[in-house]
Structure 1
Amino acid sequence: MSNRMSARIKKKSGYYVLNTITWLIVAIMIFPIYWMVKISLHSNNEILDGITGFSIPKPQWSNYVDMWKNINFADFFLNSLIICTLTMILSCMFAVMAGYALARFKFPGSGTFGMSIIATQMIPGIMFLLPIYLMFLAIKETIGLPMIDTYWGMVLVYTAFYTPMSIWIMRSFFVAIPRDLEESALIDGCTRFQAFVKVILPLSFPGIIATCVYVFLTAWDELLFAWVLTTTADVQTIPVGIRLFVGQYNNRYDLLMSAATVVTAPIIITFFLTQKYFIRGMTAGAVKG
């Protein structure tokens, strides 16, 4: 009896310890967001005088109005929305087709190709920066097609970067879908393409959502290539706008935090609206395949 009681006490202690650690990690992760929003609601004089984490500010909503007036934030926001949406659509299309092929068909080099997809993610992106820049200049000089400071140039770069990981996500999800469902559709008279469209795609919807969320959010936060490959506000994205904002208004911490809050809000909202599909899609294939 004593052994059983001690085991139960140990189990409960482990449960409380793990919960405490979990909530501590959550608090650490949430605190920067809380601090960002809090600072954005203070006046700049209050921030310079020093504030505490528990002080209750008198909301300065005018910070958000001034932030939109002092910089063309709407243009940066629209540019990010266009580039990230097009990147998401293209990456997801390529990922669905390639992921299905890797999950269902065995061909010479399929295993090597699958592993090479993940291997590309081990190469630092900065190593591609100069070659891509020089390649874009060569394209402009050779065929007269401008690539730098254009939507399609940024979409091409982002699609190339985020498609490999997207393929791996979709492949893992397709592997987790039983082949019997597809074979039943083939027996009922469907072609391979019809079985894919009518059976596999509906079942892979969570994986597609996870891929779209991953691509969109990752592209939304990218700064390095957007900073180098865009030169005017007609194409520059929100991270570049924030960077320019820091350079022009480095003493206006209230406006800086207001801008950061506006940038972060769509990401948080998108994740919470799609977290069920995102988590399910990211964990698909963890047991099978």
Structure 2
Amino acid sequence: MAKSYTESIKIKKRRKRIAANIILTIMVISSIFPIAWMFLSSLMTQGDLATGTLGKPINWQNYIEMWKNINFFAYLKNSLIICGVTTLVTLSLAVFAGYAVAKYKFPGSGIFGSTVLATQMIPGMMFLLPLYMMFINVQEKFGIKIVNTYPGLIITYSAFFIPFSIWILRGFFATIPKELEEAARIDGCSKFGALIRVILPISTTGIIATGIYIFLMAWDELLFAWVLTTDISTQTIPVGIRLYVGNFQNRYDLMMAASVVTTIPVLIMFFALQKKFISGMTAGAVKG
């Protein structure tokens, strides 16, 4: 009887494990399929793509033609500059704010943390028109050009990504024992010195995870980049990819090739830092 009961428990566990594996497999396939289809589409001719058939032979010419159809390198350069500077600016501000909220109690500190997270519940589209009008008014009244400039997009992206970055880093800093800072203070460090010399070096995992999040969000953003930039001097990759459709003709084959090229640096960065990204995000979720 006991043996029968034990076997039934093992069978239930095995069924649960099989069901979990099936669900995970479906989720993985669902995640990989769009990427695989994007890559296959980038190797198809325009005619084959329109009919939904994989052409033979494989058409690598799309990857050469995509650079000639539009100045894709200019969009790549703009994205790297804007996303890179946005990541640095956002991290510089979010690190200090997140540490202050996590470690120091001040009037309204609890409400401040909740308010920071609440700002992410408002759709970004609602800010588009007011932000654009504000930039135009600043330009008309003070002569400071913000629309169609690097600083305009960097300021916009930083403003959007700072709140959530503070929330992520706040949770991560909250897991660091306060005794570490106290020991540094005893050794002669100021509060700022303790943060720079002790806290930040052991917080690199969380900071890198937050930096990856910021960079990826800025890299994929289209709506504000489309409205706040007007020519190739400042337009980013998502805007450039959009021009393959409806600019002169609908070249979905070139758009897919450009999408693959755009995805490669992001994938390289993510896989190179995935351990730090995952451990940083999970550490920040423990307490906060």
With the shorter chain as reference, the TM-score category is over 0.9
1:229-262 deviation line (CA, Å, top 9, x unaligned)? 1101100111111111211255322212111111
Higher mean displacement: 248-257 or 9-18? 248-257
Aligned counterpart, 1:235: 234
Secondary structure (helix, strand or coil) at the match of 1:248 reads: coil
Shift of 1:94: 0.6
Which residues of 2 match residues 194-209 of structure 1 at below 5 A?
A: 194-209=193-208
Cα contact 1:154–1:226 (8 A) shared by 2: yes
Runs of at least 5 residues in structure 1 that lack an aligned partner in the other structure: none
| TM-score, normalised by the number of residues in structure 1 | 0.95
Cα contact 1:176–1:284 (8 A) shared by 2: yes
Aligned counterpart, 2:283: 284
Aligned counterpart, 1:5: 7
Aligned counterpart, 2:120: 121
1:39-72 deviation line (CA, Å, top 9, x unaligned)? 11122233234316xx8x5332211110000101
Aligned counterpart, 1:47: 49
Give the letter aligned to residue 34 of structure 1.
A
Aligned counterpart, 1:37: 39
Distance 1:230 1:71, change over 3 A: same
Runs of at least 5 residues in structure 2 that lack an aligned partner in the other structure: none
Higher mean displacement: 275-284 or 82-91? 275-284
Secondary structure (helix, strand or coil) at the match of 2:200 reads: helix
- The total of aligned residue pairs comes to 286
Deviating runs (4+, > 4 A) in structure 1? none
Distance 1:265 1:47, change over 3 A: same
1:164-214 deviation line (CA, Å, top 9, x unaligned)? 000111111100111122212222222222211111001110111011100
Aligned counterpart, 1:269: 268
Cα contact 1:79–1:235 (8 A) shared by 2: yes
CA distance in 1 between partners of 2:287 and 2:82 (Å): 35
CA distance in 1 between partners of 2:113 and 2:92 (Å): 17
1:100-147 deviation line (CA, Å, top 9, x unaligned)? 000110000000111000000000111111111111011111110001
CA distance in 2 between partners of 1:45 and 1:137 (Å): 44
Shift of 1:16: 1.4
Which residues of 2 match residues 71-90 of structure 1 at below 5 A?
A: 71-90=70-89
The answer as to 2:25 corresponding to 1:23 is yes
Aligned counterpart, 1:60: 59
CA-atom RMSD, angstroms? 1.4
Aligned counterpart, 2:96: 97
CA distance in 1 between partners of 2:52 and 2:91 (Å): 47
- Identity percentage of aligned residues: 54
Cα contact 1:169–1:281 (8 A) shared by 2: no
CA distance in 1 between partners of 2:282 and 2:170 (Å): 12
CA distance in 1 between partners of 2:219 and 2:163 (Å): 17
Cα contact 2:208–2:280 (8 A) shared by 1: yes
Cα contact 1:140–1:146 (8 A) shared by 2: yes
Cα contact 1:41–1:58 (8 A) shared by 2: no
Secondary structure (helix, strand or coil) at the match of 2:105 reads: coil
Higher mean displacement: 200-209 or 59-68? 59-68
Aligned counterpart, 2:258: 259
Secondary structure (helix, strand or coil) at the match of 1:190 reads: coil
1:152-171 deviation line (CA, Å, top 9, x unaligned)? 01100000000000011111
Give the letter aligned to residue 209 of structure 1.
I
1:241-285 deviation line (CA, Å, top 9, x unaligned)? 111121125532221211111122222222111111111111124
Give the letter aligned to residue 75 of structure 1.
A
Cα contact 1:121–1:165 (8 A) shared by 2: yes
The answer as to 2:174 corresponding to 1:175 is yes
Give the letter aligned to residue 76 of structure 2.
F
